[in-house]
Structure 1
Amino acid sequence: MSNTAEIYKFPDRKGESPKVAKLEDGYVRTATAIVEALERAPLTSREARVIRTIERLTYGWQKPDARISAETIAERTGLSETNASAALNSLIRKCVVIRIGGSRSPVKINKQVDQWDFSAQKSRVTPNCKSKTKWSESIQDGYVEPIQNGEAYKDKKDINTSPNGEEPISSEISEQAEPEKQSPKYPDCPHDKILDLWADIMTDKRQHARGMWSGSKRAKALASRWKQGFKIKHDATGQYLYTDAETGVEWWGRFFKFLRKSTFLMADNNWFDLEWVCKRENFEKIMELKYHGDAR
């Protein structure tokens, strides 16, 4: 590949010096019902940091909602913009946070805590304890720990089978090959997280209906490009684009920002969307900087 150093860099993180907390310096008034609901909510560590940021920038200023960018959340939490955006979108899907409008619209904490929905979230149960069927029930005799973002994915028994499928890549070894010669197993493509990144970064471009995505040809193409990223090495460093699910999601966030540097791709057109980007030929041309001659 040509020089792709621009989409390799990780954002710098700056720490803040400690200080003594004093009420006279300010405090946040949050309803007890929300505080108690957050005590029981199986949030990931990143989601917990993001919800506290929203709490601070809304209730801390005595406002019901606020326009908060991923960049602002990243600065306040120490997360990368990619992870901050993904955690915010996850909170919105779980109805803990409400977004009033499009991706850059104000957000607020959903005060109707009985609407918070963690039913789709995977959880790890403490050994010898029974899992509760409802997240808001007492944590006694059945504490459920939330699964953390970035946790290692378990190997799948069959790498050629996933909810969204994958199109074949010519360099892959067939299923009839010797077991010791089979291709490495990679984490399943995180379609929702990548679609969230596209919605957050490409706000002015075509968006895809989530309900029509699963099982489609474009979903299969994205899954293949996701797998391909584990096999592409940077010419200068010899490193792979990413090596696990977490670094993979971060790379796709930087990749979308890299696309915005192309005058040609960002022109007023109706053909440029995630489906176009995920087609093998287009993806490889992008990686070879054929659409970024003006940005070199």
Structure 2
Amino acid sequence: MSNVIPLRNTGGFTRMDNDLYEALIGADLSGRELRVALAIHRLTAGYNQDAVKVAALYIAKMMYGEDKAESERANVSRAVNGLIRQRVLFRDGGSRDPITFLPPNEWKVDPKTTVLKPTQSVKKTHATVLEITHIKERNTNLTANAVVAAVASTELVLESEAEQQSTTIPDQPGQAKAERIPYDRIVAIYNEVCGEKLPKCIKLTNKRRTLIKGCWNLDFNGKLPFRKGEFWTAYFTDCLKKRHWIGENDRGWTADIEFLTKQDSVLKVLESL
């Protein structure tokens, strides 16, 4: 018996370009991203359209059904933005504008790495016993010029965290203790403030460490502003005010943690205050 079903008996079909089909097979997309891409293809090629204007909620209904659509809408929206950032999809404008596929040779798919979502931080006490402390939610309604007093009263200053986390102890009197930059905490602040609008940082690469270190040591008007935790929150909050950086442009491009920690980007924000 043949396993080929005649198309006339299927009740309809959606054609897929071979190059697109093979590109989707080979692309290192997450499961949700692939399902979103297939939904967009169904809504475009399936209805003989080059592009489609569709809400994330409608795609969520296709993927999860009516019962779970509302709770999954934000995840679908992030997947759409991720596909646009990786140039798999293209949308000329905001979330209400039509969306379509770009040619596979223009795709810039990120390699995926499975990591656990950070929910805890570790600090070293004076008794050299590791103590687990939950990361508290922070107030993100801040600016670099005016930081609310509640932040200062509930959060540790990153300079203090760096001293607590340092595992290098001087061997001789007068030997300086090595300073450790709290990279994981800075990444957590970025994800908390920017994670809804910009790609989340899921892996701390050497390049990203170098860029964060550059911010940490940046001398701006005789001060080191990035040595304090509340300043990172304020800085990332101010970055979200730049509409071009959050995807409101003709390419659907969005900034990420690497872009926001480049010295040119940092100075552009600080000098505009």
TM-score of the superposed pair, with normalisation by structure 2? 0.45
In terms of Rg, which structure is larger? 2
Q: Higher helix share goes to which structure?
A: 2
